[in-house]
Amino acid sequence: MPARVVLGVGAGIAAYKACELLRLLTESGHEVRVVPTPDALRFVGEATWAALSGQPVATQPWTDVPNVPHVRLGQEAELVVVAPATADLLARAAAGMAGDLLTATLLTARCPVLYAPAMHTEMWQHPATQANVALLRARGATVLDPAVGRLTGKDTGPGRLPEPAEIFAVATRLLDHEEDLAGRRVVVSAGGTREEIDPVRFIGNWSSGRQGYALARTAVARGAEVTLVAANVSLPDPAGVKVVSVVSARQLLDAVTEAASSADIVVMAAAVADYRPETRHPGKLKKDAGPPEPIRLVENPDILATLARNRQTTGRPAVLVGFAAETDTSPEQATAKLVRKGCDLLVVNPVGDGLGFGTADNEAVVYGVDGSATEIPRGSKETLADAVWDLVVAGQT
């Protein structure tokens, strides 16, 4: 549904990227009022914002005084997005200052507020900025972590503005859902593990990681603090997510186990190889050396079952969700696997014939320990992700 959105723009070089975010918002039918800080106009001028939004642009509360804009904008907004959110702007917002129209709007807003930080690495990592971010999050705002990449000049590191499409995706879900995962620590695994035969060959699967990334993005939009353990995924990091990259099943086990020790919810969406070569050849196997010896396989650890055993003593995570990509999706097979794995929910999705791996859509049946079976019809992977989170939240209330 179209909504009234305030797009706040801080005084950073990344302000030019907010033009693309504005386009995404307006083309989705939202009514967007751009509120730059005064210095933000040094980077992108007032005429640009007015032309792209079709709305008047002001930086100070002295414009259109009879309508009391410093109060009215925040009161009427259904979402406030600040991109880029500079270190200075985050500090002023955390301190409750109201020296311009944007910070005054932030004080009066009672809708979801989304900050997309952008600044140099040293500024982002400074204890003052980290304290301001923690305070804003504690007050209920969604503050994304910046992306890692090229900054101004020759600098590279964390501090880059997340891509406008990623910010837009989070903004859309903030409009669609309440922050029903606020305060929850969530771990999601994604992608497919690879087990090396030699330095150039491996045993793997077709998983692209799209479903796990959709789960991570939607969890952030619903207020969660998310760690994403990604196995061999070639997708942009979701905005606001801590990403841990791994290759093999054993690396995935170590990373997920460590993250799960302080997590409230773990969703194992990664496709994990059941077996690995007993021996990894140190050099490439050569064709002219003749047929190689048969590759002896040994079983990989069952990560989902290991997490279920661990929580019997640690109590973490409170909720454990497994994924099963199956060609046999019968209820009998699914319920037996649910019991065997020891998870609370098992998401069974069919693979093959254009479904599952590498596609933009998915479908599934989610089985619960309470005997429930919830069908999720074919749709986008984000839709399936939200349906899974709906079931998780319903089971905790």
Residues 21 and 73 in one domain: yes
For residue 257, with 0-12 CB atoms within 10 Å meaning exposed, 13-18 middle and 19 or more buried, which class applies? middle
Give per-residue pLDDT as tens, 47-57: 999 999 999 99
Which domain-ending residue is among 176, 194, 222?
Answer: 176
Sign of CA dihedral 96, 37, 67, 109: negative
Q: What pLDDT does residue 237 have?
A: 84
Residue 193 and residue 252 in contact, taking contact as beta carbons nearer than 8 Å: yes
Residue 297, C-beta contacts closer than 8 angstroms, at least 6 positions apart: 275, 276, 277, 278
169 and 227 in a common domain: no
Domain finish residue from 176, 205, 237: 176
Q: What is the rounded CA–CA span in Å between residue 41 and residue 299?
A: 60
**Residues 145 and 202 both lie in one domain:** no
pLDDT at 385: 94
Q: Is 147 found in the same domain as 199? A: no
- Residue 199: its pLDDT value, please? 95
What pLDDT is recorded for position 127? Answer: 96
* Contact in structure between 252 and 227 (CB atoms under 8 Å): no
Do 170 and 226 belong together in one domain?
Answer: no
pLDDT of residue 185: 96
Is-cis flag, bond preceding 292, omega within 30?
no
Same domain, 139 and 194: no
pLDDT of residue 240: 79
Same domain (yes/no): 10, 142 = yes
pLDDT of residue 359: 78
Residues 235 and 172 in one domain: no
Structural domain tally of the chain? 2
**What residues act catalytically?**
205
Residues of the chain with pLDDT under 70: 62, 64-69, 177-178, 352-356, 397
Q: Among the residues of the chain, which ranges form H helices?
A: 18-27, 46-53, 69-76, 87-95, 101-108, 121-125, 127-138, 164-176, 210-221, 249-260, 303-314, 331-341, 381-396
Q: Both 204 and 335 in a single domain?
A: yes
> What DSSP element (H or E) covers 188?
strand 185-191
Check: CB of residue 357 under 8 Å from CB of residue 325.
yes
Statement to judge: residues 348 and 256 lie in one domain: yes
* Closest by Cα among 382, 314, 311 to 341: 311
Please state, in angstroms and as integers, the Cα–Cα distance from residue 227 to each residue in 216, 259, 327, following that order. Answer: 8, 7, 29
pLDDT of residue 264: 97
- The half-sphere exposure of 65 on its side-chain side, counting CA atoms within 13 A, is 1
pTM above 0.85, yes or no: no
Q: What angle do CA 214, 216, 220 make, to 5 degrees?
A: 115
Last residue of a domain, one of 112, 145, 176: 176
- Shortest CA distance to 317 belongs to which of 242, 392, 240? 392
Structure tokens at 284: 């490439």
pLDDT at 166: 86
Give me the CATH number covering residue 25: 3.40.50.1950
Contact 57, 34 (CB under 8 A): yes
Give pLDDT, residue 68: 62
Indicate if 155 and 223 belong to the same structural domain. Answer: no
- Give the pLDDT confidence score for residue 66 in this predicted structure: 65
Q: Structural domain of residue 253, as residue ranges?
A: 185-396
User: Are 42 and 14 members of one domain?
Assistant: yes
What CATH number is associated with residue 330? 3.40.50.10300
